[in-house]
Structure 1
Amino acid sequence: MTAPGSDDFDGSLRTAAMAWLDRKSTPDSLVVTRQDLLDFTFEGQRFPLIDNQLGIRKPQGFRAALSILTTYTSDRQRPPYEDAVGPDGFLRYKYQGDDPQHYTNRGLREAHRLGVPLIWFFGIRQGLFLPFYPVWIVADEPRNLQVAIALDEAQLNLADHTSLSPLERRYSERITKQRLHQPVFRQRVIQAYETSCAICRLRHASLLDAAHIIPDRDDRGVPAISNGLSLCKIHHAAYDANILGIRPDLTIQVRTDILHEVDGPMLKHGLQEMNGVALTMPRRRLDRPDPDAIERRYEIFRKAG
């Protein structure tokens, strides 16, 4: 057994924690609970992966932080991501409080200096987190009380992030969107709909998507649960292709020409029989579809038909 706090112990712990997360992650369950993270064991002893009260886990005796955590907040409390991304496309993570010398903030700086990987636990719902790992701290920005985070090796290997070319910035932004924004949006929407397709009630998480009501390429297509629908892959594709639409009364409408087609059982049972079905709603009212977004999207469907 290696000594707690030694470099060997630190490296072994990080490796074991990420391997454990690999085993916990399945196509039907990518998230972990707070209790799971508090109950993690290493070399026969309980070794929490998160701090019970602080956002940064810097174990006693360790030089560098082990993990960072973003607490769940509802869409109406703050913009989900806009204030967390820098002009270089890298995500920022705020210090613990406003004291750069707090031991957790020193742990972030040591993680940067040593180049060690961390785990980022991002809140999806109360007590439920989507883990991102390994991530690296690529810059310390004490004036703004924050650090810059690389979400994968492609971002890590970019040249000096303070002098990226326009092409490199767009590439970095795309990584951030694909690696964090899209997975977080997907998990938050699917959890809100209790892992079920809002149209056909299919309950296999690996076959579910988070469909945007207003597309994310539109300025109004915000990554909020109220702009999302949990749909199975066939109904997501049909919604995007305007084969089916959702009326302002939250009833499914299948395009008229599709209703008159004759084909196999998928067309009949998977699409045509969905005409007139009421959309399943999340339990929480604030998670339900934005009426204005539904109406704008329905107009696009109606014109397409």
Structure 2
Amino acid sequence: MIMPLGGDLDSRIRTAGMAWLRQRCTPENPVIRRGELLDFKFEGRAFPLIDNQLGIRKPQGMTAALSILTTYTSDGARAPYEDAVGDDGLLRYKFQGNPQHYTNVGLRVAFEHKVPLMWFFGIKQGLYLPFFPVWIVAIEAEQSQVAVALDEAQRHLLTEGPVSLIERRYSERITRQRLHQPVFRQRVIQAYESSCAMCHLRHRALLDAAHIIPDRDARGVPAISNGLALCKIHHAAYDQNILGIRPDYVIEVREDILEEVDGPMLKHGLQAMHDLSLTLPRRRADRPDHDLLEERYERFRSAV
């Protein structure tokens, strides 16, 4: 027999945590530091939203898990718990250690009672992008994992029989738009210290994470080394082959654009970028991949 959760107390804790995150994580600054999550207070008392050591937070006195956390790893490194997208387009979150550990049991209870959780996704050491509410919608014991829904549409996907091709593609699109794209954007912008790699504009709301090789391409992986932090005008110009980037990180402006006569935006915003060098991330591993830049530069040259 399933014992009831802490009723009103459980609901108040979840509601308070998510309300605080909505206020704290704005479109201008959607990320949050580990220390802030550990310092959260509920009704005047310390009540961390994440576990200090484990990836699953199942507070004492609560039956169900409150949050899950994905640790940040550099591109190419394997995460301690490797989460993936299933054939149904839903994300998976791995159990941690013994399936009977109290934290994993907490995930099962969250599934049984259909309670919402918070998911903190690492984008840099000690820095997280929160997703909430999310729901555990399936327990896959043989794979030691659970399926996680990011919204109401995904939440009911597995309750109505086998997933059709149309449903799977729709679910994959939700996962890409709701999690993969925001995580990629924040990782790239953090690597470039919230500054356009071309013009140094520092307004986060006006910055994009531009792909070197587009994400529709098989090689267009959501890795920092396949990304550039660009302001919206330079992102659009890069996508339209108005300007290109050589493998030695030097910017080229298309010849016909250099010869064009127009207003100050053309002169200072585009033509002035010609022959300038990109501002690169401090970490060498985060810098644009040479081979990807070369491939994209050849596409730019072919379009000239």
Structure 2 residue matching 1:169: 3-state secondary structure = helix
- Taking the aligned partners of 1:79 and 1:63, their CA distance within structure 2 comes to 27
Q: 1:92 to 1:13 in 2, by over 3 A?
A: same
The residue aligned with 1:14 is 14
In structure 2, stretches of 5+ residues that fail to align are none
- Amino acid corresponding to residue 77 of structure 1 in structure 2: A
- Amino acid corresponding to residue 74 of structure 1 in structure 2: S
- Taking the aligned partners of 2:179 and 2:278, their CA distance within structure 1 comes to 28
The residue aligned with 2:45 is 45
Structure 1 residue matching 2:157: 3-state secondary structure = coil
Structure 2 residue matching 1:84: 3-state secondary structure = coil
Q: 1:147 to 1:223 in 2, by over 3 A?
A: same
- Amino acid corresponding to residue 303 of structure 2 in structure 1: A
- Amino acid corresponding to residue 188 of structure 1 in structure 2: R
Query: 1:159-209: per-residue Cα shift (whole Å, max 9, x none)?
Result: 537611100000000000000000000000000000000000000111100
The residue aligned with 1:234 is 233
Of all paired residues, the percent bearing the same amino acid is: 72
1:108-123 matches, within 5 Å, as 108-123=107-122
The residue aligned with 1:67 is 67
Normalized against structure 2, the TM-score is what? 0.96
Q: 1:216 to 1:81 in 2, by over 3 A?
A: farther
The residue aligned with 2:259 is 260
- Amino acid corresponding to residue 288 of structure 1 in structure 2: R
Offset of 1:6 from its aligned partner? 2.1
2:71, 2:80 within 8 Å by CA — same for their partners in 1? Answer: no
Offset of 1:81 from its aligned partner? 11
- Taking the aligned partners of 2:79 and 2:139, their CA distance within structure 1 comes to 24
1:56, 1:68 within 8 Å by CA — same for their partners in 2? Answer: yes
1:117-266 matches, within 5 Å, as 117-160=116-159, 163-266=162-265
Offset of 1:82 from its aligned partner? 8.8
Offset of 1:284 from its aligned partner? 0.2
2:69, 2:121 within 8 Å by CA — same for their partners in 1? Answer: yes
Offset of 1:264 from its aligned partner? 1.5
The residue aligned with 2:279 is 280
Query: 1:239-286: per-residue Cα shift (whole Å, max 9, x none)?
Result: 000000001110110001111111121111110111111100000000
Offset of 1:158 from its aligned partner? 2.6
Q: 1:80 to 1:174 in 2, by over 3 A?
A: farther
1:77-88 matches, within 5 Å, as 77-78=77-78, 84-88=84-88
Q: 1:262 to 1:164 in 2, by over 3 A?
A: same
Structure 2 residue matching 1:60: 3-state secondary structure = coil
After TM superposition, the runs of 4+ consecutive aligned structure 1 residues lying more than 2 A away are 78-83, 157-162
Structure 2 residue matching 1:124: 3-state secondary structure = strand
Report the RMSD for the aligned CA atoms in angstroms. Answer: 1.6
Per mean C-alpha deviation after superposition, the further-off stretch among 204-213 and 5-14 is 5-14
Structure 2 residue matching 1:163: 3-state secondary structure = coil
Normalized against structure 1, the TM-score is what? 0.96
Per mean C-alpha deviation after superposition, the further-off stretch among 203-212 and 161-170 is 161-170
- Taking the aligned partners of 1:168 and 1:157, their CA distance within structure 2 comes to 11
- Taking the aligned partners of 2:60 and 2:93, their CA distance within structure 1 comes to 21
1:91, 1:150 within 8 Å by CA — same for their partners in 2? Answer: yes
- Taking the aligned partners of 1:234 and 1:80, their CA distance within structure 2 comes to 38
1:88, 1:161 within 8 Å by CA — same for their partners in 2? Answer: no
- Taking the aligned partners of 2:6 and 2:171, their CA distance within structure 1 comes to 34
The residue aligned with 1:93 is 93
Q: 1:258 to 1:132 in 2, by over 3 A?
A: same
- Amino acid corresponding to residue 19 of structure 1 in structure 2: A
Offset of 1:26 from its aligned partner? 1.8
The residue aligned with 2:269 is 270
- Taking the aligned partners of 1:285 and 1:37, their CA distance within structure 2 comes to 29
2:81, 2:96 within 8 Å by CA — same for their partners in 1? Answer: no
Structure 2 residue matching 1:178: 3-state secondary structure = helix
